[in-house]
Amino acid sequence: MTDHLIRRGLSRRGLLQTTAGLIGGSVLPAMPAFAEDKPAVGSYPAGVSGSTAFIGISVPRTGTYAVQGEDELKGYQLAIEHINSGHDLIKKISPKTSKGVLGKELKFGVADSAAKPNEAVQAQQRFISENKAIMITGGTSSAVAVALNKLAQREKVIFVCGISGSNDTTGKDCVRYGFRQNFFGQTAAAAIGPVMVKEFGKGKKAAYLTPDYTYGHTVTKSMQDFLATAGWTTVTNQVAPLGAPDYSSYLLNVANSGADMLINVNWGHDAVLSTQQAKQFGVLDKMKLVVPYQVPFIARETGGLMQGVYAATDYWWTLEDKFPLAKMFNEAFEKKYGYKPEWGAENAYVSFAHWARMCEQAGSFNPPDVIKAYEKGETLPSLVGDVHYRPEDHQCVRPVIIVKGKQQKDMKTKEDWYDVVEIVPGEGLMQKPDAFGCHPGDYS
Amino acid sequence: MLKQRPFLIETLTAIGLIVAPFVLPHLGFAPNTVNRILVWGLFGLGFDILFGFTGLLSFGQSAFYGTGGFVAAYLLTRAGFGNVLGALIIGMIAAAATGYLIGLIALRRTGIYFAMITVAIAEVFFFVEFNPLSDFTGGENGLPGVPTPSFNLGFTTVHFTNGWSLYQFIALCYFIGVIIALRIVRSPVGAIFSAIRDNPLRATAVGHNIHGYKLTAFVIAAAYAGFAGGLLGVLQAFMPPDAFTFDTSGQLVMQTAIGGRGTLFGPLVGATVWLFLQDFLQSALGLGAAWKLVLGVVFVLLVCFLRGGIIGGLADLYRLLSGRRKRSDAEAEPDTETTLHLAPAPMQAKEVAHPAYSGPVLKATGLTKRYGGLVANSDIDFSVNQGELRGIIGPNGAGKSTFFKMLTCEIAPTSGQIVFEGRDITGLKVTEVCQLGLTKSYQVNQLFTGLTVRQNLTIAALAELRGKFRLDLFRKLSSVKGLTEQVEHTLALVNLTRRADTPVAELAYGEKRRLEIGLALATSPRLLLLDEPLAGMSPRERVETVKLLKSIARGRTMIIIDHDMDSLFELVERVTVLQEGKVLLDGTPEEIRTNAAVQEAYLGGVHGEIAA
Amino acid sequence: MISWPNLVSQLFNGLALGALLALISSGLTIIYGTLGVLNLAHGAMFMIGGYAGFVAYQYTESFILAVIAGSLFVMLLGVAMERVIIRHFYHRPHEDQLLVTFGLGICFVEIIRLIFSSQSQLVPPPAIFQGITNLGFMFYPTYRLAVVGIVAIALGALFIILYRTRLGMIVRAGIEDSVMVDSLGINVYRVFMVVFGIGAMAAGFAGIVNAPVVSLTPGIGDDILVQTFVVVVIGGVGSFPGAILGGLIAGEIISVTSMFNPGYAYVMLFAAMTLVLVVRPHGLLGVQGRE
């Protein structure tokens, strides 16, 4: 699955280092071969010694999250294409960009993570050691994101996180070398909670379907905590493994729980399957469905089961009426890929654009400098208005979009699945920077 | 291949590991890939002892890989344990302990049942890791942040970080793993492992507690898996939940079979091929997800056509090229000694347990065996005196073999009692009875077919010299006291000295029959049962074998079943005739030969046998 | 959610799951009992059945035709597999049989992945079985209800083949005493081929029938394979009634445990298997014949 792998054996210099390391029997001595004043950090400066810079991308292309992974990958590819060609949209987000980043053309390799941390870590380790990747990305599973966070911190290579909804990614598992653009459990709950209370009332009984990993646990926890303030109770929380083949046992428990609301935190194909089966078991006739962390393509894949359902999301294409950058993005994306982008692609594109801007501002690929550029916390443009990164936990403070599934008769085009109900500004949604136990670690 | 020249393999391994970082980069191997291969290789060392040497195909190794890995990673990331090597060792011990418990269950059954149970175990460990233990294992998240090892040497701290630096640590671990594995397979226990693989029935019959040894192999494999699992965490700074999946077990099995089972280095070669192809097919050929299909096809073809995997294939090739020369040398040797057979003095039978005992060596009373409605033996009374040579005859279906099986405790009688040297052995296991000094040579050869003649006899002799179970894992085979003498002696006794290093598969039929008797003899029994020792032999071979039997009879009690009455009557002092599961008659050969009832039994049974 | 209505619902759901497991396991067990080969590609047969049905459905739009075509396809695949490969392994050690079927299983999964990609495929249930049935104590998808009936019929058909035909007599005799069958002068290889085909078809049929319940992915057979092993160990290797009993027990264990905590379902299943191994090493209805 490596589209564009540049093979390079160990350089002569690398070999010398190796030899020295073996003889010395200990740490590889740093032997800067370039007349730069900065010491080597991670793959810098080796990774940018030529005319190119390499990005390692790992997305799920098989397994439960494959559909979302492919969409995300398209966002990355579009961003790289725009950066290399100096597209207008990139210039709007990163004004200093002309062609490439700091004059270096971006190359990239793609590996299938199958949403498994181990696969992702293996692939990225290879990209870092063989291709001297200067930046890595990947996600669509917070388990992958957390694992790559740790890898990035150890290898001292910047990790620009893909889709990851867990509070832990910029919470207890945050790192100095990791950055996240998209919304997450806490902001989703804080944004959609009030809408739910307004729509359905107080003191409701909720059943949860939760995938059994960091994303599911933290999103469910955030939802429960918020809704408890409005007197909602949890009557059952059905925790299922990623990629469960059948949800019948879980749904029978839900059906017999006496809940009024079904809050489905499952994601990817799990969300599609569990929603379809909830319909088959009559659960959706008894309870109102809410999807707190929207799943790209779920409306299409469940065949209309999202009608009238509330969801929180990072982006929906009809925001183009409000935001000109969104319109530019939708047009470029649709021209290249033939459909309207979902939020995975949006997050991929914007997070790369932000990274390119930070490198330009730092004037170097040197990771500590790039990190410090992010940590200035200046206001940046995005497809949904102005945003900024918090220096404490490297989380982007950005709005959360609340959408509601349209009835079929109201759909103007076949991709017109949702109404945008509300655009909730980011500031009010965020927890205190240290609330989830973030200790980002060192610069080098 | 693993046995010649002291330290040759160790030295070559060390050289290989030292040279690797200088050579492999030029072949396109990144340090991380090499480290990963070594972890698989280490994982596979234990698995090969289990599968390649002991013949137990487990699909559940991921359970121990994960156990060791998560215990080590938990200690290092959550419990604040600072010593990486210490954590790895604790993880290894935890995996071994888990292996012991699982082994107790899984080894209740053999063969296919065993494989099925291990598959289930692997799967369940995965679920356990996710649910009951997710607080410790991080569930789907795994445990990120595993540190790399560093050692404080007083004057300086050596820190192994990543890439080639970490390679040094992992390579050292692998090297130690190889040394230990080599010691184990060259030890008496290792010899018994191969015996279990080749013929568990006979390994039991010559007096080894094979269940104990199987459990040993299982625990060794679990320990290696546990240590390798810990190293995986160190290697990626992250202990992935995937370590527990069935896929990991499957990959290990495939890599071992691709590289070559029973070679110790097979898993390493297999892992190299696997990771190289995975990379090569994906990136160079752009095959994408199809890489696994290619590997699957390669694997199936190897299993079909090259049973020994890559290393096995190379070894065959080498043997083909070099062996031809050797064989022609051997053929040139004058072939005079075969007929000139000097019978050596018989081996001392085992010390008698109760020297004061002077009654019959064996006494069976009222021995009966029923299979459902079918009565195989009914109410047999039978007694053999010290030093006696007894023959048993009877038409086919008279229940002779069933009778022997009951005497050696291979099957339990439905009723009746068996007393050996004054001791009630009814209901004992065949292994224990053999240890007491009673064994049998089989009607149909039960040899360790994958081994040489000498190795066969060694296994039998070890049972007598070491008892039914002993964990001398690190002892050299050659340092077992009395082993060489006993093996050489038995070789001479059964006239196979010149064929000592020939694989069993290459022996002529008569030689195999002699080895069959030799296996029983090498355990130094005081009572030896021989089930049709002359079956299928040419007249010339029969003459020789009768001579052989006479020579080994000195100082030993023997009971012989055979259809060749002329030979048998020449050998034995008394004959018992069985018919339809009952004793028909008991008497001297002369009495039997002339007895009308016996004539009748044979003419009514299988015709013409008495004249044979 | 521990309550009487939920217990009844889960027991019923366990029956549905158990029936399916029983059908797949009986395929595995008669192959093993007769041929002495444990087919590690049996899960792949289940998976391929689903895909064959899916393809047939795409062309015919008829669920019944999809079931028939899919079953036949898997049966032919089983026969081909026996003739081309398995046949050469009867006289090789068990380990080699396990290795080769394991490898074949992987090849099958990867071929399907190559053709259909990893995306899940949906087979809609037949129109007459769409919707929900109110059973009084619970709502249950009509199609799942129908699956219980369809599987029961299939098991009945297998029963007739095994207990009322000459082939079945040979198969059962072979399970108890393979040597005897050899000496009867029957062309065992032809019997083996047919049995392998039938066993594969049982899995393939289950795969198609199950397809509308779940969604098809290439890896769908892997989990099922492990569950059938547990079923077979519990019921007794080589025993057709054992496979049915084991299947139902396994289904109920999974469902009832799910009521308390679904995460423990497989742990309990394994615990049950361990218990059986300790108390009755040959399985509940197993015979001592094969090992």
pLDDT for the residue numbered B259: 93
Distance CA A361, CA C274 (A): 63
Measured between CA atoms, how close is B240 to chain A, in angstroms?
A: 5
> For residue range C194-251, what is the model confidence (pLDDT) as tens digits?
889 999 999 999 999 998 888 788 888 988 888 898 999 899 888 889 999 999 999 9
Choice between B213 and C166, residue whose per-residue pLDDT is larger: B213
Distance CA A162, CA A433 (A): 21
Q: Which residue, B508, B524, B540, sits at the end of a domain?
A: B524
Judge if B133 and B20 occupy the same domain: yes
Describe the strand order of the beta sheet including B374-384 as a list of residue ranges.
Answer: B374-384, B362-371, B415-420, B423-424
> For residue range B4-42, what is the model confidence (pLDDT) as tens digits?
567 888 889 999 999 998 888 888 788 888 999 999 999
> For residue range B555-590, what is the model confidence (pLDDT) as tens digits?
789 999 988 888 888 889 899 998 888 888 888 888
Judge if B487 and B374 occupy the same domain: no
C264 contacts on B by Cβ (under 8 Å) = 127, 131-132
pLDDT for the residue numbered A233: 95
**Contacts of A54 by beta carbon, 8 Å cutoff, 6+ apart:** A6, A47, A106, A107, A108, A109, A127, A131, A132, A133, A134
Measured between CA atoms, how close is B288 to chain A, in angstroms?
A: 4
Do residue A151 and residue B156 have CB atoms under 8 angstroms apart?
no
Is the pLDDT at A10 greater than 50? The verdict is no
Its ipTM equals 0.89
pLDDT for the residue numbered B610: 45
Distance CA B90, CA A291 (A): 44
pLDDT for the residue numbered B612: 39
Is the pLDDT at C1 greater than 70? The verdict is no
A212 contacts on C by Cβ (under 8 Å) = 263
Query: Which whole number is the average pLDDT over A160-182?
Result: 93
DSSP secondary structure of A259-307: -SEEEE---HHHHHHHHHHHHHTTHHHHSEEEESS--TTHHHHTTSTTT
Letter string b/e over residues A358-369, b meaning 16 or more CB atoms within 10 A of that residue's CB? bbbbbebbbbbb
Out of A62, A212, A253, closest to residue C6 by CB: A253
Is the pLDDT at A401 greater than 80? The verdict is yes
Asked if C11 reaches chain A (Cβ–Cβ under 8 Å), the answer is no
Reduced to 3 DSSP states, what percent helix, strand and coil does chain A have, rounded to the nearest 5? Answer: 45, 20, 40
Weakest-pLDDT range from A275-279, B240-244, B248-252: B240-244
Neighbours of chain C (3+ CB pairs under 8 A): A, B
- Residue ranges of chain A that CATH labels 3.40.50.2300: 12-183+323-398, 186-313+401-429
Mapped onto helix, strand or coil, the DSSP state of residue A207 is strand
Residue B323 inside a domain? The answer is: no
- C-alpha distances in Å from residue B35, one per residue of B47, B116, B265: 18, 31, 15
- Among B133, B283, B291, B293, most A C-beta atoms within 10 A, so best to mutate, is B283
> For residue range B275-309, what is the model confidence (pLDDT) as tens digits?
888 878 877 776 766 788 888 999 999 999 988 88
How many structural domains are present in chain B? 3
Distance CA A286, CA B52 (A): 58
Is the pLDDT at B350 greater than 60? The verdict is no
The pair of three-digit structure tokens given for residue C115, joined into one six-digit string: 């053709």
Do residue A269 and residue C265 have CB atoms under 8 angstroms apart?
no
Query: Which whole number is the average pLDDT over B433-460?
Result: 91
pLDDT for the residue numbered B4: 56
Query: Which whole number is the average pLDDT over C123-148?
Result: 84
Residue B131 inside a domain? The answer is: yes
pLDDT confidence band for B346 (50 / 70 / 90): low
Distance CA B149, CA C237 (A): 48
Going by C-alpha positions, the residue among A393, A401, A383 that lies closest to residue A291 is A401
pLDDT for the residue numbered B326: 56
B132 contacts on C by Cβ (under 8 Å) = 263-264, 267
Do residue B30 and residue A129 have CB atoms under 8 angstroms apart?
yes
Residue C112 near residue C73, CB atoms below 8 Å: no
Query: Which whole number is the average pLDDT over A97-125?
Result: 89
- CATH number for B567: 3.40.50.300
pLDDT for the residue numbered A29: 37
pLDDT for the residue numbered A72: 93
Weakest-pLDDT range from A258-262, A277-281, A421-425, C171-175: C171-175
Neighbours of chain A (3+ CB pairs under 8 A): B, C
Residue B9 near residue B183, CB atoms below 8 Å: no
Mapped onto helix, strand or coil, the DSSP state of residue A121 is helix
Choice between C277 and B365, residue whose per-residue pLDDT is larger: B365
> For residue range B249-267, what is the model confidence (pLDDT) as tens digits?
999 999 999 999 999 999 9
pLDDT for the residue numbered B355: 56
pLDDT for the residue numbered C175: 66
DSSP assigned state of A317: G
Neighbours of chain B (3+ CB pairs under 8 A): A, C
Count residue pairs from B and C with Cβ separation < 8 A. 119
> For residue range A200-220, what is the model confidence (pLDDT) as tens digits?
999 999 999 999 888 899 999
DSSP assigned state of A32: -
For chain C, the structural domain boundaries read 20-221
Count residue pairs from A and B with Cβ separation < 8 A. 124
**Contacts of A270 by beta carbon, 8 Å cutoff, 6+ apart:** A64, A211, A240, A242, A243, A244
> For residue range A291-332, what is the model confidence (pLDDT) as tens digits?
999 999 999 888 889 999 999 999 999 999 999 999 999 999
Do residue A252 and residue C144 have CB atoms under 8 angstroms apart?
no
Do residue B22 and residue A15 have CB atoms under 8 angstroms apart?
yes
Judge if B492 and B514 occupy the same domain: yes
Compute and round to an integer the Cα radius of gyration of chain B.
29
Choice between C226 and B110, residue whose per-residue pLDDT is larger: C226
pLDDT confidence band for B127 (50 / 70 / 90): confident
pLDDT for the residue numbered C273: 87
Of all residues in chain C, what percent carry a pLDDT higher than 70? 93
Residue B387 inside a domain? The answer is: yes
Letter string b/e over residues C80-113, b meaning 16 or more CB atoms within 10 A of that residue's CB? ebbeebbbebeeeebbbbbbbbbbbbbbbbbbbb
Alpha helical stretches, state H, A281-416: 283-286, 298-301, 324-337, 343-362, 367-375
Judge if B20 and B103 occupy the same domain: yes
Indicate the pairing of strand A105-112 with strand A52-59: parallel
C245, exposed or middle or buried, with CB in 10 Å at 0-12, 13-18, 19+? buried
Is the pLDDT at C33 greater than 80? The verdict is yes
Query: Which whole number is the average pLDDT over A368-385?
Result: 94
pLDDT for the residue numbered B336: 40
The pair of three-digit structure tokens given for residue A223, joined into one six-digit string: 């939802």
Do residue C5 and residue A249 have CB atoms under 8 angstroms apart?
no
Going by C-alpha positions, the residue among C200, C204, C210 that lies closest to residue C148 is C210
Work out the mean pLDDT of chain C and round it to a whole number: 86
Distance CA A404, CA A415 (A): 14
Mapped onto helix, strand or coil, the DSSP state of residue B127 is helix
- Among A15, A113, A116, A125, most B C-beta atoms within 10 A, so best to mutate, is A125
Describe the strand order of the beta sheet including A396-397 as a list of residue ranges.
Answer: A380-382, A385-389, A396-397
Judge if B367 and B455 occupy the same domain: no
Pick the CATH number of A12-183+323-398 from 3.40.50.2300, 2.40.50.140, 3.30.43.10, 3.30.300.30: 3.40.50.2300
pLDDT for the residue numbered C181: 58
Indicate the pairing of strand B150-152 with strand B157-159: antiparallel
Measured between CA atoms, how close is A363 to chain C, in angstroms?
A: 42
Going by C-alpha positions, the residue among B405, B391, B420 that lies closest to residue B533 is B391
Of all residues in chain A, what percent carry a pLDDT higher than 90? 64
Asked if B399 reaches chain C (Cβ–Cβ under 8 Å), the answer is no
Choice between B33 and A55, residue whose per-residue pLDDT is larger: A55
Do residue B289 and residue C114 have CB atoms under 8 angstroms apart?
yes
Task: State which residues form the domain around B139.
Answer: 8-311
pLDDT confidence band for B473 (50 / 70 / 90): confident
Q: Yes or no: is domain A186-313+401-429 CATH 3.40.50.1980?
A: no
Distance CA A320, CA C75 (A): 55
Query: Which whole number is the average pLDDT over B183-190?
Result: 94
Respond yes or no on whether the N-terminal peptide bond of residue C218 is cis (omega within 30° of 0).
Answer: no
Measured between CA atoms, how close is C259 to chain B, in angstroms?
A: 15
> How long, in residues, is chain C?
291
Query: Which whole number is the average pLDDT over B529-535?
Result: 89
Distance CA B78, CA A52 (A): 40
> For residue range B384-425, what is the model confidence (pLDDT) as tens digits?
988 889 999 888 878 888 899 899 988 889 999 999 988 899
Search chain A and give the residue with CA nearest C252. Answer: A249
Out of C113, C223, C262, closest to residue A245 by CB: C223
Do residue C214 and residue A273 have CB atoms under 8 angstroms apart?
yes
pLDDT for the residue numbered C287: 66
Judge if B416 and B471 occupy the same domain: no
Residue B348 inside a domain? The answer is: no
Weakest-pLDDT range from A6-20, B66-80, C71-85, C257-271: A6-20
Judge if B433 and B559 occupy the same domain: yes
Weakest-pLDDT range from A111-115, A183-187, C104-108, C153-157: A111-115
Distance CA A110, CA A124 (A): 9
